[in-house]
Amino acid sequence: MFSAVGAAAACGFSLFDGRAPSGVRRCPLYLLVCIVGAMDTRERLVQSTRELLWERGYVGTSPKAIQERSGAGQGSMYHHFRGKPDLALAAIGRSAEELRDRAEAEFTGPGTAVERVSGYLRRERDALRGCPVGRLTQDPDVMADAELRRPVEETFAWLTDRLAGLLAEARASGELDAALDPASTAAALVAVLQGGYVLARAAGSAEAYTRAVDGALRLLAGHVR
Amino acid sequence: MFSAVGAAAACGFSLFDGRAPSGVRRCPLYLLVCIVGAMDTRERLVQSTRELLWERGYVGTSPKAIQERSGAGQGSMYHHFRGKPDLALAAIGRSAEELRDRAEAEFTGPGTAVERVSGYLRRERDALRGCPVGRLTQDPDVMADAELRRPVEETFAWLTDRLAGLLAEARASGELDAALDPASTAAALVAVLQGGYVLARAAGSAEAYTRAVDGALRLLAGHVR
DNA sequence: GTCTATAAATTGATAGAC
DNA sequence: GTCTATCAATTTATAGAC
């Protein structure tokens, strides 16, 4: 039976957090479908799985929990997906795609290269929830499965490379100290984000995240001309 | 029945990784006990739980797995501990204690304050295994339990504070730029460590960890006089 | 202290009706 | 496409013998 609650949750989530297949997000029909609450079963399963993977990880997410949150029955789930790994693959791919899209929007926005890097780091984030993609690196079953692991690996390789490119650009334009190494600096900045989530969750406060990012940007500021 | 394999694994682990109750580690009797393989059941249970929490997290660690790895039976486990949360509390406390002891040894070692901070960051670590304490922040069941969470929170608060103290010391002695903020810089450095583990696991290579630490130390170097 | 027996609930799926 | 029934294995214990 259709679950209005499940659909509304998955839908509201998608709408307000911008989570939807790339390209589809700006489609008026998609918005309408969300508002009406008629997101199809397959999509609700994917969204619910994304939420649960984010909150509880792969090991902590049961098919039963996915079914309850999505409002789909046992039969529906196994009709649309072969099982838990198959569902996780769809969910992880979607989360990776969204992280990339949102970062890219920041990177190609206005401002100097350093401003865009700072903007990305300072962007509003729900620090206590952590990173939906980075979180998966702590899941042994995800890391042990080459297919589940690939999107995680690719996301961080892309992100670090993209930031290194912006830093190289800033260095070339004389915005940044010529002695600074773009690759290792980019790695440090991505690490501060991921580690900031750890500190925030440990402290039980998003402030710890902000402080770490702040410290990193002040360190970087010393190398800006 | 006594399990030589379980004992040897837990023991070898303790010996070579320096995992043992603080103070006990340097006791000749403790070494003898380890070599003979006569670590008591309670201790083997704690060590096995520590390993499993590190590898698979709280949700991914079953009492059955703990019993198998420690070589202890069902009855033994429930004789020494009330259940899984009780065992986890002992294991987490031990891991937190050890992290702190090892860090403190680095912080009170030789060299200038900045050298000791760099030394701590560059210290050899098994990056692909991640941080036994930081890992727990991703475990919803650990974070939801105030008792299990406290050692995690305290460990990071202590570590960040301790690093901030060293940076303040370096600033006071003129070793470090007076404009640098010790608290946020310390938070950034701890975040780089924790995030470095995420990058290493995502890339499947410890090099990603080293690169992030390297980037952070180069950024810091720009503020050293 | 350690062992075996037992058990209620959950996990991750398959089978087949509708 | 969705539903219910069923199932073997695992989880997290408790009880009580030795």
Under CATH, domain B91-221 is a member of which superfamily?
Tetracycline Repressor, domain 2 (1.10.357.10)
Give how far the C-alpha of residue A81 lies from the chain's centroid of Cα atoms, to the nearest Å: 23
Where along chain B do the CATH 1.10.357.10 domains lie?
A: 91-221
Q: Do A188 and B192 touch (CB under 8 A)?
A: yes
Q: Cβ within 7 Å of strand D: which of A 84-103? A: none
Cβ contact A92:A46 at 8 Å: no
Please report the pLDDT score of residue A178 as a whole number.
96
Separation CA A35–CA B83 (nearest Å): 46
Cβ contact B109:B122 at 8 Å: no
Task: Tally A–B CB contacts below 8 A.
Answer: 203
Structure token digits, residue A48? 């619910």
What is the tens place of the pLDDT at every residue in B148-198?
A: 999 999 999 999 999 999 999 999 999 999 999 999 999 999 999 999 999
Name the residue with the least CA to C1' distance from nucleotide C11.
A62
Q: Average the pLDDT over A83-109 and give the result.
A: 98
Q: Which residues contact A219 (CB under 8 A, 6 or more apart)?
A: B180, B185, B188, B216, B219, B220, B222, B223
Q: Can you spell out the DSSP letters for A167-178?
A: HHHHHHTTSB-T
CA of A214, closest CA in chain B: separation in Å? Answer: 6
Q: Considering only CA atoms, which of B56, B125, B128, B51 is closest in space to residue B91? A: B51
Please report the pLDDT score of residue B38 as a whole number.
57
Instruction: Name the nucleotide nearest A40; use CA and C1'.
Output: D1
Q: Which amino acid is at B174?
A: G
> How confident is the prediction for chain A on average, in pLDDT?
88
- Cβ burial of B170 (10 Å; 0-12, 13-18, 19+) is buried
> Which of A184, A209, A220, A224 would best serve as a mutation to test chain B binding (most B beta carbons within 10 A)?
A184
Q: From the list B157, B211, B213, which residue is nearest A183 (CB)?
A: B211
Q: Is the pLDDT of residue A162 over 70?
A: yes
Higher pLDDT residue, A197 or A22? A197
% of chain A with per-residue pLDDT over 90: 82
Q: Average the pLDDT over B20-46 and give the result.
A: 60
What is the tens place of the pLDDT at every residue in A98-140?
A: 999 999 999 999 999 999 999 999 999 999 999 999 999 999 9
What is the tens place of the pLDDT at every residue in B37-92?
A: 458 999 999 999 999 999 999 999 999 999 999 999 999 999 999 999 999 999 99
Q: Do A218 and B180 touch (CB under 8 A)?
A: yes
- A74 is near strand D: CB distance < 7 Å: yes
Instruction: Name the nucleotide nearest B1; use CA and C1'.
Output: C2
CA of A34, closest CA in chain B: separation in Å? Answer: 29
Positive/negative CA dihedral, A158, A163, A164, A166:
positive
**Residue found by looking up tokens 């969470």 in the block:** B149
Which conformational region is residue A216 in: left (phi greater than 0), alpha (psi within -120 to 50 degrees), or beta? alpha
% of chain A with per-residue pLDDT over 70: 83
The SS3 of residue A42 is helix
Please report the pLDDT score of residue A28 as a whole number.
42
Second-level CATH architecture of A92-221: Orthogonal Bundle (1.10)
Q: Considering only CA atoms, which of A126, A114, A149, A139 is closest in space to residue A222? A: A114
Our measurement of CA A78 to C1' C13, in angstroms, reads 9
Instruction: Name the nucleotide nearest A77; use CA and C1'.
Output: D2
What is the tens place of the pLDDT at every residue in A16-36?
A: 233 344 444 434 444 445 444
- A57 is near strand C: CB distance < 7 Å: no
- A73 is near strand C: CB distance < 7 Å: no
Name the residue with the least CA to C1' distance from nucleotide C17.
A75
Q: Is the pLDDT of residue B20 over 80?
A: no
Q: Considering only CA atoms, which of B201, B41, B195 is closest in space to residue B216? A: B195
Our measurement of CA A88 to C1' D6, in angstroms, reads 26
CA of B76, closest CA in chain A: separation in Å? Answer: 27
Q: Which residues contact B152 (CB under 8 A, 6 or more apart)?
A: A202, B92, B96, B133, B136, B137, B142, B143
Instruction: Name the nucleotide nearest B2; use CA and C1'.
Output: C2
HEC sequence for chain B: CCCHHHHHHHHHHHHHHCCCCCCHHHCHHHHHHHHHCCCCHHHHHHHHHHHHHHHHCCCCCCHHHHHHHHCCCHHHHHHHCCCHHHHHHHHHHHHHHHHHHHHHHHHCCCCCHHHHHHHHHHCCCCHHHCCCCHHHHHCHHHHCCHHHHHHHHHHHHHHHHHHHHHHHHHHHCCCECCCCCHHHHHHHHHHHHHHHHHHHHHHCCCHHHHHHHHHHHHHHHCCEC
Q: Which residues of B touch A185 (CB under 8 A)?
A: 215, 218-219
- B78 is near strand C: CB distance < 7 Å: yes
Angle of helix A84-107 relative to helix A41-56, nearest 10 degrees, comes to 80
What is the tens place of the pLDDT at every residue in A29-76?
A: 444 454 444 589 999 999 999 999 999 999 999 999 999 999 999 999
Q: Average the pLDDT over A191-209 and give the result.
A: 98
Separation CA B116–CA B122 (nearest Å): 10
Instruction: Name the nucleotide nearest A87; use CA and C1'.
Output: C12
Bases of chain D with protein Cβ within 7 A: 1-6, 10-17
Separation CA A45–CA A29 (nearest Å): 20
Our measurement of CA B93 to C1' D14, in angstroms, reads 27
Structure token digits, residue B184? 């946020």
Higher pLDDT residue, B141 or A19? B141
**Residue found by looking up tokens 């083997």 in the block:** B44
Please report the pLDDT score of residue A38 as a whole number.
56
The SS3 of residue A29 is helix
At A5, is the pLDDT very low, low, confident or very high (cuts 50, 70, 90)? very low
Q: From the list B60, B152, B202, which residue is nearest A140 (CB)?
A: B60
- B76 is near strand C: CB distance < 7 Å: yes
